């Protein structure tokens, strides 16, 4: 790849929630800012910009990643997933999302997108997690509203439900 000059904006292309997307960015632009303000997918939130709070967590090539600690240019050609890609279709919730709603696992909802992304990645690889394992994964996220307990319950409940079905059952809302 040629050297990208600091003084210019350069095209960045990758797949976002299964769709090819493209935008332009200075080399220094954070992935979080690119997704939100260039591509207009504002579901991913920015809480600390130093990698601690976890609100901006997305999936890059199937792994959890802080989008505030990733440059847009770094995901060129990657497969990125965000909270907007979790629901199977408009008007439906994924099993995990539905479990969150059922268990009141969110209040203000600001940190929720990142938590959902971590759990979505984790549960795909670990279909039968223990509660300490879920708490361990969640320890990379800060939530100020819920005290975490309902999030843990929602995650465990979703894992149980997912293990019962071979495909992601979905849930209607609205």
Partner 1 sequence: MGLTATMTSSARSGPWIGRSPERVEDAALLTGNGRFIDDLGVRPGTLHAAILRSPHAHADILTIDTAAARAAPGVAAVVIGPDVKALTASLVVGVKAPVECWPIAVDRVRYVGEPVAVVVASDRYKAEDALDLIEVRYAPRPSVIDPLAAIAADAPILHDGFPHNVASDRRFRYGDPEAAFAAASHRIAIDIVYPRNSCTPIETYGVVAEYSVSDDAYDILANFQGPFSIHAVISRALKLPGNRVRLRTPPDSGGSFGVKQGVFPYIVLIAAAARIAGRPVKWIEDRLEHLCASSSATNRATTLAAAVDDEGRVLALDWDQVEDCGAHLRAPEPATLYRMHGNLTGAYDIRHMSVRNRVIVTNKTPTGLNRGFGGPQVYFALERLMQRIAVELDIDPLDVIRRNLVPGNAFPYRTASGALLDSGDYAETIELGAREGGLDELKARRAAARAEGRLYGIGYTAVVEPSVSNMGYLSTVLTPAERRRAGPKNGAQATATVSIDPVGAVSVHVASVPQGQGHRTVLAQVIADVFGVAPQDVRVNTEIDTAKDAWSIASGNYSSRFAAAVAGTAKLAADRIAVRLRRIAASHLNVEASEVAFGNGKVFSRDNPDNAMPFARLAALSHWSPGSLPDAAGQTIRETVFWTPEQLAAPDDADRINSSLCHGFIFDICGVEIDRATGEVRIDRYVTAHDCGTILHPGMVDGQIRGGFGQGFGAALLEEFAYGADGSFLTGTFADYLLPTSTELPEPVIVHMQTPSPFTPLGAKGVGEGNCMSTPVCIANAVADALGEKNIVLPLVPARIRALIAGEEPPAPVGGMTAPRAKKPGGRGLEGEGSADVGAPPQAVWDMLLDPATLQAVIPGCHGVEKISDTHFRAEVTLGIGPVKGRYRAEVKLFDLDAPRAVTLSGTADGALGYGAGEGRITLTPRDDGGTTVSYTYDAEIGGKVASIGGRLLDGAARVIIGQFFAALARHAGGGAPAAGAAGGLSGWLRRLFGGAR
Partner 2 sequence: MKPAPFDYVQAETLDEALAVLAAEGSDARVIAGGQSLMPMLNMRLARPKVLIDVMRIGSLARVDDGGDRVVVGAGVRQAALLAWPRLAAKLPLIALALPWTGHAQTRSRGTICGSVAHADPSAEMPLCLIALDGEVHLRSARRRRVLPAGDYITGMMSTARDDDELIEAVAFRVRPGRGCGFREVARRHGDFAIAACAAIAHADGIRLAVAGVADRPELRDWPDLEGDALDDALNAFAYDLDARDDIHATARYRRDLVRQIGRDVIDEARRCRV
Binding interface with partner 2 (CB under 8 A) = 1, 3-7, 26-28, 30, 33, 49-51, 54, 57, 60, 63-66, 68-71, 73-74, 76, 118, 122, 136-137, 139-141
78: partner contacted, choices partner 2, partner 1, none (Cβ within 5-8 A by kind): none
Q: Name residue, tokens 């995650």.
A: 155
Question: 17 near 82, Cβ under 8 Å?
Answer: yes
Residue 33 C-beta: closest distance to partner 1, Å: 8
Residue 117 C-beta: closest distance to partner 2, Å: 9
Give dist(CA 162, CA 147) in Å, integer: 24
Give dist(CA 40, CA 64) in Å, integer: 21
Give the Cβ contact number of residue 70 at 10 Å. Answer: 21
Whole-angstrom CA distances from 159 to 23, 64, 94, 134, 164 are 36, 18, 12, 10, 9
Handedness of CA 85, 88, 90, 91 (dihedral sign): negative
Is 162 among the residues that bind partner 1 (CB under 8 A)? no
Restricted to residues 35-94, the positions that interact with partner 1 (CB under 8 A) are: 36, 41-50, 52-53, 55, 82-84, 86-87, 93
Residue 93 C-beta: closest distance to partner 1, Å: 6
* Residue closer to partner 1 (CB basis): 74 or 107: 107
Residue 9 C-beta: closest distance to partner 2, Å: 11
Query: Could you say which DSSP state residue 3 is in?
Result: P
- Name residues whose C-beta falls within 8 Å of residue 21's C-beta, 6 or more positions apart in sequence: 13, 14, 15, 39
Residues that bind partner 1 (CB under 8 A): 26, 28-29, 36, 41-50, 52-53, 55, 82-84, 86-87, 93, 97-98, 100-102, 104, 106-113, 116, 134-136, 138-152, 171-174
């Amino acid at each position: 790849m040629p050297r990208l000059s600091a003084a210019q904006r350069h095209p960045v292309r990758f797949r976002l929630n299964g769709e090819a997307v493209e935008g332009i960015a200075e080399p220094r632009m954070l992935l979080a800012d690119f997704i939100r303000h260039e591509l207009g997918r504002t579901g991913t939130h920015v809480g600390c910009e130093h990698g601690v709070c976890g609100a901006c967590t997305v999936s890059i090539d199937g792994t959890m990643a802080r989008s505030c600690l990733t440059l847009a240019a770094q995901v060129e050609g990657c497969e990125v997933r965000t909270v907007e890609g979790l629901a199977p279709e408009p008007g439906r919730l994924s099993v995990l999302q539905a479990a969150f709603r059922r268990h009141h696992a969110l209040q203000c909802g600001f940190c929720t997108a990142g938590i959902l992304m971590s759990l979505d990645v984790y549960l795909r690889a670990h279909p039968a997690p223990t509660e300490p394992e879920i708490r361990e994964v969640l320890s990379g996220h800060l939530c100020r509203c819920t005290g975490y307990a309902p999030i843990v319950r929602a995650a465990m409940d979703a894992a149980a439900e997912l293990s019962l079905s071979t495909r992601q059952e979905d849930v209607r809302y609205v």
